[in-house]
């Protein structure tokens, strides 16, 4: 508790005189400090005064060797079978020395345009306060030793044993203050520390033998968090989640544990749970074959740790009550080196086979295909890469379908199939855990050399002139040239072809005159998929006019115009509309 007095006008207070300060507030009876600050016309005097009050408290705290800005460093390293787990939180302590009986007075000197703040606290009053804290916590430790022997409930034993550690911490803090003030504290620290060590050992034994329930873990987390939480109301806090180390995913067990922990913390009058709170209640856990490390903390809006709890539990003694302890699929992390990605070494396919012949990929573990495994697919061609994804089915096989947007006929590609671990483990690509896994040797990949064969066409064409068939065809070679640019190939036998192209064109006479002669060409073109026997293209062209000196000349020009129209229409249809 502190008292503040404001004086802005009239005679300067007695404490402005150094000699008076020394006589009325001698150093052997008081801790005192005076600070000053020039206040300009545009300065906010109220804001400056508030800052000066805080400065006075800080300097008085420093005077007893406890800085209000003391840094708390939590560094817990857990050795994992595959990776080193590190949970580290740096923060500034939110709890400064309780300066009981602190009094502060201020004075504004108009001539000097300066604000002065004087603060002082009685050493006797402060010492009595901390001796009372020491005695109170000694009593709690001794009572706890008696209760641990008496109570039958495991949860109650956990509470009493956990409180011993917090009580010793409070005693040591008060001893530090009294020592800095050169005041006696009367505590037998050697004895109390031995009691705390014995309690800690018993507490650890409880969590590494027998059966440890979710309720036991929750009880210890809640007890330690609340015991270490500073006095006074905490700003509204939002309950976040208990995630697996280095990820943002939890498990059925951690989710249930954290929800129940939130209920206990929310019942404490110092904590108000709110989904929009600036303070946070967070948790993290990590797991090895030997033990599971559980950690939780209450963090204020300035990211300072108000209280924290951290302890390990034997992995084999946890009663999981049917709840999964690891996040989904995390049990496979240790088995990743044993997983083998299988894909065909070579694959030859035609565009018309893209639907009927996908590339089959699977992940094999212990001779069995893993179902619902996502794969990351990299398609390389001429130094450029495209990325795709595919998921294995319930039978463990993934079907990767090619499309005309991915590949072109007549080209070679390389496909690399790898496990999409980010998707499988539901973690982000940049999570440290994923980076650590990928840095391991022995993670399997599948590789396929892909050749996209050109589709083949058998051409059957008829090009009839006005009086006889054309000796040199016009439309057929133009169509072959245009389709070759689309990477189609041509065969001489219909039985070995993918498609049949049928062209029927004939010329007919038009009008004759003194100046010119007209001829017309009519044509029908169709493209048949011989696998399905479906007509995938058909169009008719009528009255394509040619003008010449005679019918032969006019017919030749009509065929040239027909050639251009037919080639343009068919190639456009195949390239853009199929």
User: Read out DSSP for 8-57?
Assistant: -SSSPPGGGSHHHHHHHS-TTTEEEEEEEEE--TTS-HHHHHHHHHHHHH
- The runs of H, that is alpha helices, within 443-511 are 475-485
Residue 86, pLDDT above cutoff 60:
no
Residues of the chain with pLDDT > 90, as a percent, come to 56
Q: What single-letter DSSP state applies at residue 576?
A: I
Residue 244 pLDDT level (bands cut at 50, 70, 90): very high
Both tokens assigned to 499: 């498609």
Mean pLDDT of 276-302: 94
Identify the band that residue 85 occupies on the pLDDT scale cut at 50, 70 and 90: very low
pLDDT of 311 above 70 = yes
Q: What is the pLDDT of residue 493?
A: 93
Q: Is the pLDDT of residue 531 over 60?
A: yes
Phi, psi of 218 (to 5 degrees): -60, -45
Task: Determine the Cα–Cα distance for residues 38 and 115; give it in Å rounded to an integer.
Answer: 6
SS3 173: helix
* Token reading at 416: 């690399």
361-397 per-position pLDDT tens digit: 999 999 999 999 999 999 999 999 999 999 999 999 9
**Contact in structure between 117 and 104 (CB atoms under 8 Å):** yes
The pLDDT of residue 10: 56
The per-residue b/e assignment along 105-116, b for 16 or more CB within 10 angstroms, e otherwise, is bbbbeeeeeebb
**Three-state DSSP string of 72-87:** EEEEEEEECCCCEEEE
Torsion of CA 413, 419, 425, 430, to 10 degrees: -60
* Count of residues in the chain: 578
Q: What is the mean pLDDT of residues 526-536?
A: 92
* H or E, element range at 196: helix 189-206
Contact, 549 vs 516, CB < 8 A? yes
Q: Whole-angstrom Cα distance, residue 409 to residue 568? A: 20
Burial class (CB in 10 A: 0-12, 13-18, 19+), 469: exposed
Average pLDDT over residues 409-430: 93
pLDDT at 239 over 90: yes
Of 254, 264, 255, 205, residue with least CA distance to 229: 264
pLDDT at 54 over 60: yes
Strands (E), 288-400: 291-299, 305-314, 340-342, 346-349, 359-365, 368-369, 374-381, 384-391, 397-400
Residue identified by tokens 């498990």 is 251
Give residue-wise pLDDT tens across range 149-182: 887 788 888 888 888 888 888 888 888 888 888 8
Please list, residue by residue across 182-221, b when 16 or more beta carbons sit within 10 angstroms of its beta carbon and e when fewer do.
ebebebeeeebeebbeebbeebeebbbeeebbbebbbbbb
| Exposure class string for 381-396: b at 16+ Cβ within 10 A, else e | beeeeeeeebebeeeb
Least confident of 41-45, 85-89, 148-152: 85-89
- Across residues 452-464, what is the average pLDDT? 94
Q: How confident is the model over 566-578, as pLDDT tens digits?
A: 999 999 998 886 5
459-484 per-position pLDDT tens digit: 999 999 999 999 999 999 999 999 99
Whether 440 has a pLDDT exceeding 60, the answer reads: yes
Residue 88 has a pLDDT of 34
Pairs from 196-203 (Cβ < 8 Å, separation ≥ 24): 196/141, 196/164, 196/165, 196/168, 199/144, 199/145, 199/148, 199/161, 199/164, 199/165, 200/161, 200/164, 200/165, 202/148, 202/161, 203/158, 203/161, 203/162, 203/165, 203/311
Q: In Å, how far are 477, 507, 518, 570 from 462, measured between CA atoms?
A: 12, 11, 22, 17
Residue 366: the pLDDT is 92
Write the burial class of residue 546 (CB in 10 Å: 0-12 exposed, 13-18 middle, 19+ buried): buried
Domains of the chain from N-terminus onward: 1-69+98-191 (no CATH), 207-327 (3.40.50.10610), 331-452 (2.60.40), 456-577 (3.30.160.180)
Quote the CA–CA distance of 69 and 62 in Å, as a whole number: 10
DSSP letter at 208?
Answer: S
Supply the pLDDT for residue 256: 97
Give the whole-angstrom CA distance, residue 29 versus residue 61: 16
Alpha-carbon span 486 to 327, nearest angstrom:
50
Helix (H, G, I), strand (E, B) or coil at 157: helix
Determine the 3-state secondary structure of 279 from DSSP: strand
Q: Cα 231 vs. chain centroid, distance in angstroms?
A: 35
Radius of gyration of the chain (CA): 43
* pLDDT surpassing 70 at residue 73: no
| pLDDT above 70 (res 65) | no
Q: What is the mean pLDDT of residues 128-134?
A: 90
Residue that wins the pLDDT comparison between 350 and 504: 504
Give the pLDDT of residue 98: 73
Give, as one character, the DSSP assignment of residue 118. E
With cut-offs at 50, 70 and 90, classify the pLDDT of residue 82: very low
Of 85-89, 209-213, 277-281, 295-299, where does mean pLDDT reach its minimum? 85-89
The whole-chain average pLDDT of the chain stands at: 87
Q: Does 419 have pLDDT greater than 80? A: yes
| Average pLDDT over every residue of 194-207 | 90
pLDDT at 578: 58
Question: How far is residue 530's CA from residue 537's CA, in Å, rounded to a whole number?
Answer: 13
Q: Which of 99-113, 188-202, 264-278 has the highest mean pLDDT?
A: 264-278
User: What residue ranges in 110-161 does DSSP mark as E strands?
Assistant: 114-122
Residue 192 above 50 pLDDT? Answer: yes
Q: What is the pLDDT of residue 50?
A: 85
Q: Does residue 233 have a pLDDT over 90?
A: no
What pLDDT score was predicted for residue 514?
80
Greatest Cα pair distance, the chain, in angstroms, is 136
**Is residue 238 a contact partner of residue 258, using CB atoms and an 8 Å limit?**
no
Q: Which run of H or of E encompasses 165?
A: helix 154-180
Q: What is the mean pLDDT of residues 44-59?
A: 84
Q: pLDDT band at 95, cuts 50/70/90?
A: very low
**pLDDT for 97:** 66
Res. 3: pLDDT tops 70: no
Nearest to 126 by CA among 178, 68, 170: 178
Burial classification of residue 5, based on how many CB atoms lie within 10 Å of its CB (0-12 exposed, 13-18 middle, 19 or more buried): exposed
Residue 438 clears pLDDT 80, i.e. is over it: yes
Q: What is the pLDDT of residue 70?
A: 36
Is 80 a residue whose pLDDT tops 70? Answer: no
Model confidence at 76: pLDDT above 70: no
According to DSSP H, which parts of 211-331 are helical?
A: 214-228, 252-266
């Amino acid at each position: 508790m502190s008292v503040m007095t404001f004086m802005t006008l009239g005679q300067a207070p007695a404490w402005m005189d150094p000699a008076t300060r020394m006589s009325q507030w001698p150093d052997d009876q008081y801790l005192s400090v005076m600070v000053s600050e020039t206040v300009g016309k545009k300065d906010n005097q109220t804001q400056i005064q508030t800052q000066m009050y805080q400065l006075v408290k800080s300097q008085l705290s420093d005077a007893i060797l406890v800085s209000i800005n003391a840094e708390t460093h939590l560094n817990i390293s857990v050795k994992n079978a595959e990776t080193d787990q590190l949970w580290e939180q740096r923060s500034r302590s939110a709890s400064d020395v309780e300066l009981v009986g602190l009094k502060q007075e201020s004075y504004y000197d108009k001539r000097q345009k300066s604000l002065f703040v004087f603060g002082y606290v009685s050493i006797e009053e402060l010492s009595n306060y901390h001796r009372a804290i020491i005695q109170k916590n000694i009593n709690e430790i001794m009572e706890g030793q008696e209760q641990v022997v008496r109570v039958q409930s495991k949860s109650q034993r956990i509470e009493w044993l956990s409180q011993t550690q917090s009580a010793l911490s409070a005693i040591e803090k008060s001893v530090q203050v009294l020592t800095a003030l050169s005041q006696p504290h009367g505590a037998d620290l050697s004895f109390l520390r031995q009691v705390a060590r014995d309690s800690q050992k018993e507490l650890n034994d409880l969590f590494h033998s027998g059966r440890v329930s979710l309720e036991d873990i929750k009880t210890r987390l809640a007890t330690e968090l609340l015991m270490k939480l500073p006095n006074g109301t905490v700003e509204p806090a939002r309950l976040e989640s208990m995630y697996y180390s280095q990820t943002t995913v939890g498990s059925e067990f951690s989710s249930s544990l954290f929800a129940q922990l939130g209920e206990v913390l929310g019942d404490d009058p110092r904590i108000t749970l709110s989904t929009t709170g600036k303070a946070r209640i967070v948790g993290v856990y990590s797991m090895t074959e030997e033990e599971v490390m559980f950690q939780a903390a209450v963090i204020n809006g300035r990211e300072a740790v108000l209280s924290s709890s951290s302890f390990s539990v034997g992995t084999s003694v946890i009663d999981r009550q049917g709840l999964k302890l690891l996040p989904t699929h995390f049990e496979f992390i240790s088995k990743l080196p044993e997983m083998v990605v299988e894909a065909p070494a070579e694959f030859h396919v035609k565009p018309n086979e893209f639907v009927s012949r996908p590339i089959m990929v699977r992940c094999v573990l212990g001779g069995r295909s893993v179902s619902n495994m996502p794969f990351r697919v990299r398609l390389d061609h001429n130094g450029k890469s495209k990325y795709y994804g595919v998921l294995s089915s319930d039978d463990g096989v993934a079907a990767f379908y090619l499309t005309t947007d991915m590949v072109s006929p007549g080209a070679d590609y390389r496909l690399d199939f790898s496990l999409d671990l980010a998707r499988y483990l539901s973690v982000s690509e940049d999570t440290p855990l994923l980076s650590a896994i990928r840095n391991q040797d022995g993670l399997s990949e599948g590789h396929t050399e892909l050749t996209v064969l050109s589709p083949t066409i058998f051409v059957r064409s008829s090009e009839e002139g006005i009086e006889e068939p054309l000796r040199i065809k016009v439309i057929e070679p133009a169509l072959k040239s245009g389709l070759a640019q689309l990477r189609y190939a041509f065969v001489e036998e219909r039985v070995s072809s993918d498609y049949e192209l049928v062209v029927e064109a004939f010329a007919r006479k038009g009008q004759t005159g003194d100046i010119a002669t007209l001829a017309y060409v009519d044509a029908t073109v169709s493209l048949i998929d011989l696998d399905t026997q479906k007509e995938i293209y058909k169009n008719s062209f009528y009255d394509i006019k040619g003008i010449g000196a005679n019918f032969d000349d006019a017919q030749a020009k009509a065929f040239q115009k027909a050639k251009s129209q037919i080639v343009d229409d068919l190639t456009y249809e195949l390239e853009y509309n199929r």
